[in-house]
Amino acid sequence: MLSQIPSDELSSYVVSIRTGVLYFFSKRFRFNRSYSIEDIPDILQRKISISNDQYYFPRTNNSIQIDDGLRSAFCNVKPVNQSRKFVDELEKHQFYVKEQKHVYRIYLQSEDKQTHVCIIDPALNYSIIEFSKDFQRTSNIGKLNLRVSVSSYCFSFCLDYIRDRSSSKFGRNKTYDDIFDFRIQFQYNPRTCSDQLNTIEYELHQQFPSLEQNFRNENILIPLENDENEFQISEQLCPYITFIRRDFGDVYQYKGDDTLFENFTIYLESSVEYYIDRKQSICKPNLDTHGLVYARLDLNTMISSNTIDENLLISKLWDMGTGLTSIAGECTTSETQQSTNYYTPNGDMYTAEDEALIQRILKQQNLRSMLGLPHYAPSNQVKHAFDQIMNQLESKWHCLRFGANAHDKLNASYNEFIQSTVPN
C-alpha cells in the first residue's frame, strides 16, 4: 500500500484502527455452505464467476445486477460495555488520559455529489474548525477486503481483519458480542484547520456557491432553549447536510517506551446521531452509543526524509489491532446491547436489547422460546421471565416497530400457558 503513496504526501494521511464487525451480504451467495479459507480471496476479488452454482444461487428475473456478487461492509458502531474495566486495562499498558474530546461532525454534500466533513467545536461558538473532503465515501465498498479508492489527487486504503468466532463466550446464541474485527485505514486528509477559520469560510463559499455573502462560520448549531439535546441548524447550510453526529469522550496517550505502541492515541467515546427535520431546520437525537473504541497513529513522528520504516509500521498496526480488539472483547458482556439507545421523533427511547426482544418474540413459535428459556424451564421460571419482559417493555411496545404485534402474540401465548396449567 505504501508504495502507492507519494512520499511527500505521507504526512497528509490519517492512519486509524477501527474496532467493529465486518458483514458480508448478497442476495445470491450461498451462505449456508462451508468454504475453504483459500476460496475467500477469490470470492471477494470476483475471480469466481457469479454463474458458478457451487457458490451462487441461479439468478431470477427479479434480481438486480448490483445484488449479484458478494459484498461487505464494516460497522464500527460496536461498543464495549465495561468501560471502567477497559480503562484499567489501558492503564496497565501505560495509556493515560491526555484530554477530553467533544465535537460535532457534520457531512455536507455539494452539487457535484462530493461529501465534505466538517468538525464543529461547541467551545468556539459552534464554528467549523476542520473542513475536508470525505474520500472514503467515494470508494467501492465491499468489493475487496483490501480496498483502494483513487481520485486524481488522493488515495484511501482499508484493510479488514476478521477474528475467529470460535473463542466467543456467546457462540451458543451466535451473538459473538465479545468478538471484535478491526479495520486498518489509511485516509488522505488534507484539511483546513482551526487556525484558518477565514479560509474555511472561503472554502464553504467555493463549494456551496448559493451561500449568501453574509454567511459566517459560527453558530452552525444552536442549542434550543427548551431542550439542550436539540439544535437549530444554520438555515443556509441545512439543505446540504446529510448527517450529524456528536462525539465525546476521553483521549488516551501512550506514556511507555515500547516502540510498537509509541505515537498511538486511543479513543474511548460515546456518539449521538441526529434526525434532521429539514422543514424546521432542527435536529433531534436519533441514536446514541456508549463505549466506542478506536486508535490513531501519528505518522509524522515516524517519517524521516520522506520515508518510513515499513516493517515497523506493519508490526505497530498489527499489534495495536489484535491487542485493542482482544481487550475490547474481554470488556464486553452479553449486556452490550444496552449500550445503544434509539429515539423516536416524539422523544421515546428504546435499546438495541429491546429491539432484539421484539424480533425474538416475533420469530419464535412457542412461549418458552419467545422468553429465551429452554424447553424444560419450569412454570415459575416462565412466569418470572414473562413479568420481566413485560416490565422492561412496558412503555416501549408502541414505539418499537411491530411492537404491538409482539405484545399481542406474547400475551396470547402466555394466557394459553396459564390456562393449560389450571387444574380441571
Do 133 and 204 share a domain, yes or no? yes
Same domain, 314 and 353: no
Q: Is residue 223 part of a domain?
A: yes
Burial class (CB in 10 A: 0-12, 13-18, 19+), 74: buried
* pLDDT score at 156: 66
Residue 57, domain member (yes or no):
no
Per residue in 248-284, pLDDT tens? Answer: 999 999 999 999 999 999 999 999 999 999 999 999 9
Last residue of a domain, one of 274, 309, 340: 340
Domain co-membership, 151 together with 187: yes
343: three-class secondary structure by DSSP: strand
pLDDT at 363 over 90: yes
pLDDT class of 66 with cuts at 50, 70, 90: low
Q: At what angle do helices 403-421 and 379-392 cross, to 10 degrees?
A: 160
Q: Which grid coordinates belong to 67?
A: 445484488
Number of domains in the chain: 2
Asked whether residue 55 is domain-assigned, the answer is no
- Look at residue 126 and tell me if it is in a domain: yes
- State the angle between helix axes of 352-363 and 379-392 in degrees (0 to 180), rounded to the nearest 10: 130
Q: Does 119 lie in the same domain as 265? A: yes
Nearest to 22 by CA among 137, 164, 148: 164
CATH code for the domain of 373:
1.10.287
- Report field, pTM of the whole predicted structure over 0.95: no
- pLDDT average, residue stretch 186-209: 78
- Summary mean pLDDT of the chain: 86
- In terms of domains, do 325 and 363 share one? no
Q: Are residues 88 and 191 in the same domain?
A: yes
Residues 260 and 357 in one domain: no
Classify residue 410: in a domain, yes or no: yes
Please give the residue range of the domain that contains residue 352: 348-421
Same domain, 242 and 149: yes
If you average pLDDT over each of 44-53, 60-69, 113-122, 170-179, which comes out highest?
113-122
Residue 380 lies in a domain: yes
Closest alpha carbon to 370 in 323, 405, 322, 398? 405
Q: Which position has the higher pLDDT, 165 or 198? A: 165
Residue 111 forms part of a structural domain: yes
CA–CA separation, 115 and 227 (whole Å): 30
Q: Give a three-class secondary structure readout of 407-423.
A: HHHHHHHHHHHHHHHCC
Sign of CA dihedral 107, 108, 109, 110: negative
Same domain for 358 and 282?
A: no
Same domain flag for 114 and 211: yes
Q: Identify the pLDDT of residue 44.
A: 76
Both 243 and 269 in a single domain?
yes
Considering only the C-alpha atoms of the chain, give the largest distance between any 2 of them, rounded to a whole number of Å. 89
Last residue of a domain, one of 340, 358, 380: 340
Co-location of 284 and 409 in the same domain? no
Domain boundary among 289, 312, 340: 340
Q: Average pLDDT for residues 170-183, to the nearest whole number?
A: 87
Q: Is residue 58 part of a domain?
A: no
Residue pLDDT, tens place only, 231-253: 999 999 999 999 999 999 999 99
pLDDT of 138 strictly over 60: no
pLDDT bin (cut points 50, 70, 90) of residue 140 is: very low
What gap in Å lies between CA 241 and CA 7, rounded to an integer?
34
- Once rounded to an integer, what is the mean pLDDT over residues 154-176? 81
